[in-house]
Amino acid sequence: MNGSTTLLTHTLTANISRAASKSLYSSIATTGLRASYATIRAPSCSSRRNFSSTRRTQLEFFPPPKNTPNIKTTPASWPHPTASEEQLKQIEVAHREPRTFSDWAAYNMVRVLRWGTDLATGYRHDPNKPYVMNERKWLVRFIFLETVAGVPGMVAGMLRHYRSLRRMKRDNGWIETMLEDAYNERMHLLTFMKMAEPGRFMKLMIMGAQGVFGNGFFLAYLLSPKTCHRFVGYLEEEATKTYSYAIEDLESGKLPAWENLEAPDIAVRYWNMPEGKRTMRDLLYYIRADEAKHREIHHTLGNLNQAEDPNPFVSEYKDPSKPHPGKGIDHMKSKGWEREEVV
Ligand SMILES: [Fe+2]
Ligand SMILES: [Fe+2]
């Protein structure tokens, strides 16, 4: 266990014990998820582990890469575009008002899902009510959300790939952006998995959520891809909000264990985090920008003709001097680009 993990674990365990002693957990409807974390015990400093009810001997599911005789390293398939500190700080919480019935249906679906997830992860962030979040609860939420967030891009990419095969027509560049979206979400998950491990109950919930959401999204995408992209746009509005609140909490001193916490190596490499800007705080800024990018991508794709239009995020423009969508976060539009602006 390295220094930063020990620091996090130590403080988190203290937080959990404190919260448990105040019966904080018993006041909220329990789903069993919390119970598995609240039962963590800390007999000695060396055996303290937050976020887990799994025995230490079983904690082997995320081993470091194997040192094989021939392979030096396996770089990211989709290198992350660079972003300046100023750009990362400019990301804003935004909402695109629903304009059609399909938008309205997508938005309300997200609201229902958000309510369920808040309940399951013990999340509450209401300035008018007592503060209930802590580092452990934020990690529970991040991990659960990221296991779900990686589904839509992969399903959409796969279905568009199948469609291209069976209709024997080109896809116009959408598939790769969808797969990249899924890859980026999985990198969020793998980063958080370097900080904590879910207990058995949460693992079960993650499997259940994937079964329901993965199949539901598959069917919905076959019926109305446009509604699905709008749905993901709204989901990403919520993700951007979630990470903005976590940053706010960290910067206002509510999450002391994260104040000097270093970002894991996997994150430093993936985001190319510059020297001196490799803390948990910096990491949250990077992830929030990714979520805002997904928000822009899916709201934009939700405005396009699904069968004919090229993917504006990988296209070359006739007038490149005019602001247009791209891979990075320059000229990012929080509510997506309208069809007339790009096609
Ligand atoms: Fe994410
Ligand atoms: Fe996302």
Nearest ligand to the CA atom of 146:
1
- How much of the chain is in helix, strand and coil states, percent to nearest 5? 60, 0, 40
CA of 188 from ligand 1 middle (Å) equals: 5
Q: What is the largest CA-CA distance in the chain?
A: 66
Distance 182 CA to ligand 2 centre (A): 8
Secondary structure (3-state) at 272:
coil
In which residue are the tokens 């392979």 written?
71
Nearest bound ligand to the CA of residue 235 = 2
Question: Residue 273 gets which letter from DSSP?
Answer: P
CA distances from 298 to 62, 179, 232, 291 (A): 31, 13, 6, 11
Compute, in angstroms, the gap from residue 233 CA to the centroid of ligand 2.
9
Query: 149: CA distance to ligand 1 center in Å?
Result: 6
Whether 40 contacts 16, CB under 8 Å: yes
> What pLDDT does 184 receive?
97
d(CA 235, ligand 1 centre) in Å: 10
331: left (phi over 0), alpha (psi -120 to 50) or beta: left
CA of 290 relative to ligand 1 center, distance in Å: 7
Ligand lying nearest the CA atom of residue 296:
2
In the reported structure, the alpha carbon of residue 154 is separated from the centroid of ligand 2 by a whole-number distance in angstroms of 12
In this structure, which ligand is nearest to the CA of 292? 2
Instruction: Give the number of the ligand closest to the Cα of residue 187.
Output: 1
- Distance, in Å, from the CA atom of 240 to the CA atom of 41, rounded to the nearest integer, reads 33
pLDDT at 119: 86
Q: Which ligand is nearest to the CA of 191?
A: 1
Domain ranges for the chain: 96-342
Distance 116 CA to ligand 2 centre (A): 18
State the ligand closest to the CA atom of 238.
Answer: 2
Residue 343 CA to ligand 1 centre (angstroms): 28
- Cα of 166 vs centre of ligand 1, distance in Å, is 31
pLDDT on residue 66: 76
Distance 125 CA to ligand 1 centre (A): 19
- The answer to whether the CB of 276 falls within 8 A of the CB of 232 is no
Instruction: Tell me the ligand closest to 147's alpha carbon.
Output: 1
Write down the pLDDT at residue 239.
97
Centre of ligand 2 to C-alpha 88, Å, is 15
Supply the pLDDT for residue 129.
Answer: 87
Task: Report CA(271)–ligand 2 centroid distance (Å).
Answer: 15
Instruction: For residue 149, report the distance from its CA to the centre of ligand 2, in Å.
Output: 6
Residue 243 CA to ligand 2 center (angstroms) comes to 11
Span from the CA of 73 to the centroid of ligand 2 (angstroms): 27
96-342: what CATH class?
A: mainly alpha
Q: How many CB atoms sit inside 10 A of residue 247's CB?
A: 19
Low-confidence ranges of the chain (pLDDT < 70): 1-64
> What six digits make up the tokens of 173?
């560049």
